[in-house]
Chain A
């Protein structure tokens, strides 16, 4: 049994120079068979395993990760969390997730540093403002907090924004979701891994799935770089690599994988206490607890699996950030990186069954799935445990591309998150 993290455990370990902390999770070798195999040890995969064990009582579960857990988009994103989406279907699933975020640190006994510092979505044109008002009203009807701010409100809240009328990107107002914010992304992967491990889940790193075994239309296991492992239920949660893994079972997906980049600056004293996003200029920014400005850009339009993107995207992104925040013009950037995001035609995820019985898929979160990590794991665990989608994820079936019932979230998802 793992020891609980608490103020006492910190004090106790401080007395022994922090040399006696237990490993946060066991390093397991794969068993021959499991009840459920989750392919992909990102936040969504780990959350799925945790809720399978905790909420649905299925703990004979393995999470197979080809690299190290959280080494994919989970550890590469700009950590914005919010639920102010336009359509009922997405509002409900993102709000479920936001509610789980609000008690996540206590629930998994791991400080994910969830900070509800508010998320501003700027409007630069009349049309932006109409969209913002429409979305805020839709949020209201779904019981989601949202306020529409005027230019003066924005100037009061974030004085370093250029709110002058002759700004390159004039700010006509914004929406504000106060319950939105940021979280520590690595902690989300580590915290879910530790909590799942404690309930009996095997976390298996450096284990790449290379094939999906099927028997008469039903999944029976996976081939991996560490041997064949049997399971009658398998969940694919591999984000940017969803198409390649789905293809192992002969499935085609409506997603394309694109590079998405982010960058951080040198640490500064506290200057930006909220999250600022602008769809129109393809930029979003917040300040980390260490003081770095965390800045996200837009996707490259080509398919890319290289975990890096084009320089011109960063150039455009930073020139827009400097127009919005003239004070940042001399800040130096420290690091820049890319992730591979799996984008759906309607900017919404796919969560549910596939044509192969026992094989489930959760993908297509694209540029904005970090915020959904707990909610996505919860509904996916429900789907795998019961063989049926939950009401929250039923609309996100892959069948919507055949029926035409798409959920067009381009406005609220946009390039930004």
Chain B
């Protein structure tokens, strides 16, 4: 890992970034309509994959902007970067 490519600032040292965890978890629009199991799933349950992971990162000691990334959790290698709110790029 060591170097991460901020989509806005380019390659920077890993220590400038903070990881915001699993991406694409959206806050339920109608929380009242959820039962306890669905609410727990939103709050606490995670994919935690051994392999490709879709994550949120923030360039916290830089431009302070968020972005999404696809990263391999075994090699720690970044595979792709994409904007918040965007769909992840297709990978083979």
Contact = CB atoms under 8 A, between A and B. Distances in A.
Tell whether A and B belong to one assembly: yes
Interface of A: 241, 243-244, 252-257, 300-306, 310-312, 345, 401-404
Contact of A255 (B15, B21, B48, B50): B48
Interface residues of B, number: 26
A357 to B, nearest CB: 18
Complex A-B, nearest 10 residue pairs according to Cβ-Cβ distance, in ascending order = A254-B44, A243-B48, A302-B19, A312-B15, A401-B40, A402-B36, A402-B40, A301-B19, A305-B50, A401-B44
Given A253-B48, A255-B46, A401-B45, A303 B73 contact: yes
Contacts of B45: 252-254, 401
Given A253-B45, A254-B46, A256-B46, A303 B53 contact: yes
A305 B73 CA distance: 6
B37 interface: yes
B76 interface: yes
A73 to B, nearest CB: 15
Nearest to A344: B44
A306 B21 CA distance: 17
A302 B44 contact: no
Contacts of B14: 310, 312
Contacts of B48: 243-244, 253, 255-257, 303
Contact of A306 (B37, B49, B53, B76): B76
B75 interface: yes
A345 B45 CA distance: 9
A66 B75 CA distance: 20
28 contacts: A243-B47, A243-B48, A244-B50, A252-B41, A252-B45, A253-B48, A254-B44, A255-B48, A256-B21, A256-B46, A256-B48, A257-B50, A302-B19, A302-B55, A302-B71, A302-B73, A303-B55, A305-B50, A305-B73, A306-B74, A310-B1, A310-B15, A311-B2, A312-B14, A345-B44, A401-B43, A402-B40, A404-B36
